[in-house]
Structure 1
Amino acid sequence: MNFSLDLPPGGPRRRRPRRTARSLTAVAVVAAVAAGGAYAAGLGPFERDTGPDPEAVAEARAFLADWAAGRLPEAAARTTGPDRAERVLGSFTTGLGIDEPEFTAGKPEETGDGTLTVPFTARMPVTGLGTWTYTSELPLRERPDGAWTVDWRLSLVHPRLSDTRKFRLEREESEPVEATDRDGETLTGATHPSLGPVLGRLAGGADGGGPRGAVHLVDRATGKVERTEVSFGGTDTREDEGPVRTTLDARWQSAAERALAKADGRNAALVALRIDDGEILAVANSPASGFNRAVSGTYAPGSTWKIVTSGALLLKGAVAPGDVVDCPKYLTVGKRFQNVETSEHPGATFRKDFTESCNTAFIGLRGRLGEGELGDVAKKYFGVGQTWHVGIPSYDGSVPVPRDATEKAASMIGQGRVQANPLIMASVTATAVSGTFHQPSLVDGTEDTTSTEPLPRRVVTQLRELMRATVTEGTARVLAGLPGDIGAKTGTAEVSDEQDNNGWMVAHRGNVAVACVVEEGVTGGGSAGPVIRDLLSAVPES
């Protein structure tokens, strides 16, 4: 259950005095799949900013948090129609098999006449099938006493939900899938718990159809289907073809699942893949059952994204590792950005900025990239944002063109609307250190519709040197004692004011690239670092 809120850098502000938002202390949100992040304070890169009207924003966030956490009476009490709201919110999720919804709120918009609208993206995990994603708007109304409340209407739950139309879930059963690893060893959810939700998606063959079903919009009176909102899975083409042979390696998979114990019970995910061909060796999630965060999650990648940002800067000769790029404590671009623990490195070189993960230095270089250049580089060289055919359903990343200067600054450090997951970041790492993008794959015979160009050799050499220095003298020193020529990058990603930062680390050794995220891990070196250290300690260099 999760939500995040992007606040405008300079939206309209009310002239009346602001009161402390009553709802903030009541919001307790369990971290899950985060998409982007609020520009917040704490250890991360942003200073706290409450937006155009703190009480309205707080009430919207509190409603979404209560809904996500299943606190339906509390969510309903925040609306103008508590009784109806509680019934609808309950029947909507229960009737559709939705567990642990998550919401990402956008910029609040004042619409006049004492009203305010908060657009949001809903990600509804339909049990056993997949995630239904859609957008809606949360209307808020200011009461005569100055307090804010959610203006209840069916359409806020979903724009097409009404008194005459509702949604219906239909499932199709599929047989359990037998699978083996790359060497023919049998894989099951019993022997490798993290593979339960992964293997269940292989029923459709190479394209990853998995269990099948659909959410339909139907007429309440007749039950007639008016449209299909989302379909899951595909035609089961396997029938009597025998076990699915995957690219997984049972040794790596077992080691990955054991290593995630270092996440101390937090939600976490990890992917390991081969650098030379993109074949996936391990996919692990904590908890092991439920949502496949490693492949389908949507997270702000934080400072691990500086690999892509550095690649973009180095490609055009906008900076060199030895150039002096100052690293101050703070830098204001619409909002005040800061470094982890407000560190600073006066007179630092770009190499030092990378190894110490200096946010302000990278943001200070934003003018050397065009408005959409970071996304163009991510797609052209790293394959991010193109459609991947992994063998199971996957989320393949997004790097939108920034909407304003603040968002461009945030995108330089893997925040704002930049979204990825461990599969994407393991692939980014493999591309950076080899120069060539290989579409990740979990089974043989997957279609590859991607089109990329190789990175110049000089850029690959520079990125490898930067990542190696991050291990020997920078924020990834947790890996320094391991054998092999290991390179890495840490990351700390903001989620919301109420949650600790997500911790990230990516690394490569030999022919393997690894990425790990630990939700609310605070720092990458302190949370994801021990996970990757244990994984690499348990398997030989490949």
Structure 2
Amino acid sequence: MRSGAKVGIVGGVFALVLGGVGYGAYNILDGLGDSGVGGHTSTAADSSEVRSGPVTEEEIADTSKKFLAAWAEGEATVAAALTNNKADAETALTGYSDTAHVTKAVITPGRATGSTVPYTVKATVSYKGATKSWSYASKLTVVRGLTTGRPLVDWEPSVIHPDLAKGESLETGESSTASIEAVDRNGQVLTKEKYPSLAGILDELRKKYGEKAGGTTGIETWINSANADGVNKTLLTLVKGKSGRVETTLDAKVQAAAERGVKKFEKASVAAVEPSTGAIRAIANNPPTGFETSRSGAVAPGSTMKIITSAMIIQNGLGGANSAVACPSQVSWEGVTFHNLDNFSMPSATLKTAFARSCNTAFIKPVAPLKDKRDTALAIEAEQYFGIGRNWQTGIATVDGKVPESSGAETAASFIGQGKIQMNPLNMASVTATAVNGRFRQPFIVAQTLDNRTFATATPLPPGVSGQLKDMLRYTATAPEGTGTQAMASVDGDKGAKTGSAEVDGHATSDSWFTGFSNDLAAAALVQSGGHGGDAAGPVVAEVLRAGP
């Protein structure tokens, strides 16, 4: 069955050449003859013998060429038969022209890496008289069929487009949501082209506030979300609708710094908030598309959690910033032994110096006297004073953090940010902001008055607690022994920090965490498998803070 689109396959490893003539956008299959799709060859892949083992270079080249050529000719059924999921592949390949309205395209393969073949697509999308060019890159992988032994394209929706996921589809038409022009706090226009990490946020703001802001619809190509209440992702705009103006709390200068910062690492995310108001000033991820760890992640925050643990210790009368604490190399809790990094110890320490060196044992041992209350104390502290888990209404979808009640060794682990604790950079930036400001201000990205939503609230920290926390953060960012001093050296103004590393099951290297503040800006970053907090996440936070007030 022809899907209608004519797609040429040119250049690269799989240039189709016959008699010195390269085949372009038309009649590719006719030119291939018996060696093409649907023909019979004497290759091992077509023999009656079921092959096993890894696919060969010849099989990778032959299968990918045939698949792309069939897609090129609009033969969705033939192309789908060359995959290991014929039904799903045929639906997607047919929809490429029938619902996405791609009228023509040129596919240019690159050189294979192992069994994976990259390629670029330069397409034309046409709908009701509107036409627009569309370019992107994707890839396919050739595998051996489990039952047939044939080399087949390992079907994933991303073969069609890299952002397409299972259950999603491409569509071109009149958009279902009104257009917006999102601006930062100073009126500067924010676009996904300039700030790639904002693509998902801008789509979400558009869905929620476009019509309210006076926008109208246009003609676009988008990805239909797999979730009924999800946000469709716009890929191409053929005709712009009238844009409604949506004012955000973002700061273009800080956002640009956040985008630069996360690009330093393969999997990095960062968020920045204003302690005095809770306004979100920046939020960024690398990779910039897909799952947004900065606001939706839920992973162990490591020793950055010691900010809340310190507040719990102080408020429960177990110590203060300048109180002496024991920092042995290890400590036992209900039969489980907890260690400091490299088993270091501090013969003479205060809570402040232990915080600066990130001594794990100093934040476990003092809590033992709480007895029956120790399994709930951290959860109460996190929710009641830091607003964790209180259903934040930021204006976009966010995960608000989780500090559950615990028992046994998990209680001790939670004091150092392990166990069942789940956070993301936005949560930890807010935690730092609360410590600095003395009270929780719920993070938000658009004004509360835009839709009259209810902000989460929390009890202010008792007098003196914020001052001690701030002093501990400052010491960690400035003292010679502070684990955050090196990363924060380039940051000016009143500043403070806390490092963290979190062990993740199955990962050889721990996650790198870092949170800090400078004047009226707090930021937190996570670099997955980045190691020590000051080494990876620290420079990301410093980049953001340098761009602040």
Do both proteins adopt the same fold according to a TM-score greater than 0.5, normalized to the shorter chain?
yes
Quote the Cα distance in structure 1 between the aligned partners of 2:445 and 2:475. Answer: 31
Quote the Cα distance in structure 2 between the aligned partners of 1:512 and 1:253. Answer: 13
- Any conservation in 1 of the 2:258–2:283 contact (CA below 8 Å)? yes
Match of 1:10 in 2: none
Which amino acid in 2 is paired with 1:507?
G
Match of 2:412 in 1: 409
Quote the Cα distance in structure 2 between the aligned partners of 1:381 and 1:126. Answer: 41
Counterpart among 185, 189, 195 of residue 188 in structure 2 = 185
RMSD: 3.5
TM-score w.r.t. length of structure 2: 0.62
Confirm or deny that 1:358 pairs with 2:359.
Answer: yes
Quote the Cα distance in structure 2 between the aligned partners of 1:296 and 1:391. Answer: 14
CA deviation after TM superposition for structure 1 residue 433, in Å: 0.9
Quote the Cα distance in structure 2 between the aligned partners of 1:324 and 1:208. Answer: 59
Counterpart among 255, 258, 264 of residue 257 in structure 2 = 255
Quote the Cα distance in structure 2 between the aligned partners of 1:321 and 1:242. Answer: 50
Quote the Cα distance in structure 1 between the aligned partners of 2:188 and 2:528. Answer: 32
Query: Could you say what secondary structure the match of 2:283 adopts?
Result: strand
Confirm or deny that 1:529 pairs with 2:538.
Answer: yes
User: Which aligned segments of 4 or more residues in structure 1 are displaced greater than 6 angstroms?
Assistant: 70-74, 97-101, 124-128, 211-214
Query: Could you say what secondary structure the match of 2:204 adopts?
Result: coil
Q: 1:352 to 1:184 in 2, by over 3 A?
A: same
Query: Could you say what secondary structure the match of 1:195 adopts?
Result: helix
Q: 1:279 to 1:208 in 2, by over 3 A?
A: farther
Q: 1:284 to 1:206 in 2, by over 3 A?
A: same
Match of 1:231 in 2: 229
Percent identical residues = 37
Match of 2:484 in 1: 476
Q: 1:485 to 1:126 in 2, by over 3 A?
A: farther
Query: Could you say what secondary structure the match of 2:500 adopts?
Result: strand
Quote the Cα distance in structure 2 between the aligned partners of 1:359 and 1:184. Answer: 45
Which amino acid in 2 is paired with 1:337?
F
Give CA-to-partner distance per residue, 1:26-84, whole Å, 9 cap, x none: xxxxxxxxxxxxxxxxxxxxxxxxxxxxxxxxxxxxxxxxxxxx99999x99xxxx99x
CA deviation after TM superposition for structure 1 residue 484, in Å: 0.9
- Any conservation in 2 of the 1:207–1:392 contact (CA below 8 Å)? no
Give CA-to-partner distance per residue, 1:373-432, whole Å, 9 cap, x none: 211111111110110111111111111111x31110111011111011111111111111
**Higher relative contact order by CA 8 Å / sep ≥ 6: 1 or 2?**
1
Match of 1:314 in 2: 314
- Any conservation in 2 of the 1:504–1:528 contact (CA below 8 Å)? yes
After TM superposition, list the pairs within 5 Å mapping 1:439-454 onto structure 2: 439-445=442-448, 447-454=453-460
Quote the Cα distance in structure 2 between the aligned partners of 1:342 and 1:72. Answer: 47
After TM superposition, list the pairs within 5 Å mapping 1:70-469 onto structure 2: 173-174=176-177, 177-205=180-208, 231-233=229-231, 242-261=244-263, 263=264, 265-333=265-333, 334-367=335-368, 368=370, 370-402=374-406, 404-445=407-448, 447-469=453-475
Quote the Cα distance in structure 1 between the aligned partners of 2:544 and 2:284. Answer: 11
- Any conservation in 1 of the 2:169–2:223 contact (CA below 8 Å)? no
CA deviation after TM superposition for structure 1 residue 231, in Å: 3.3
- Any conservation in 1 of the 2:476–2:484 contact (CA below 8 Å)? yes
Match of 2:119 in 1: none
Q: 1:339 to 1:207 in 2, by over 3 A?
A: farther
- Any conservation in 1 of the 2:522–2:545 contact (CA below 8 Å)? no
Q: 1:290 to 1:176 in 2, by over 3 A?
A: farther
- Any conservation in 1 of the 2:181–2:243 contact (CA below 8 Å)? no
Which amino acid in 2 is paired with 1:273?
V
Quote the Cα distance in structure 2 between the aligned partners of 1:468 and 1:125. Answer: 48
CA deviation after TM superposition for structure 1 residue 193, in Å: 1.4
Quote the Cα distance in structure 2 between the aligned partners of 1:244 and 1:207. Answer: 8
TM-score w.r.t. length of structure 1: 0.63
Quote the Cα distance in structure 2 between the aligned partners of 1:72 and 1:325. Answer: 59
- Any conservation in 2 of the 1:506–1:515 contact (CA below 8 Å)? yes
- Any conservation in 1 of the 2:429–2:515 contact (CA below 8 Å)? yes
Q: Which runs of 5+ in 1 are unaligned?
A: 1-69, 102-123, 129-171, 216-228
Quote the Cα distance in structure 2 between the aligned partners of 1:208 and 1:439. Answer: 25
Q: Higher mean Cα deviation, 447-456 or 351-360?
A: 447-456
Q: Which runs of 5+ in 2 are unaligned?
A: 1-139, 213-221, 233-240
Residue-pair matches, total? 376
Give CA-to-partner distance per residue, 1:289-326, whole Å, 9 cap, x none: 22211111112111111101111111122212232221
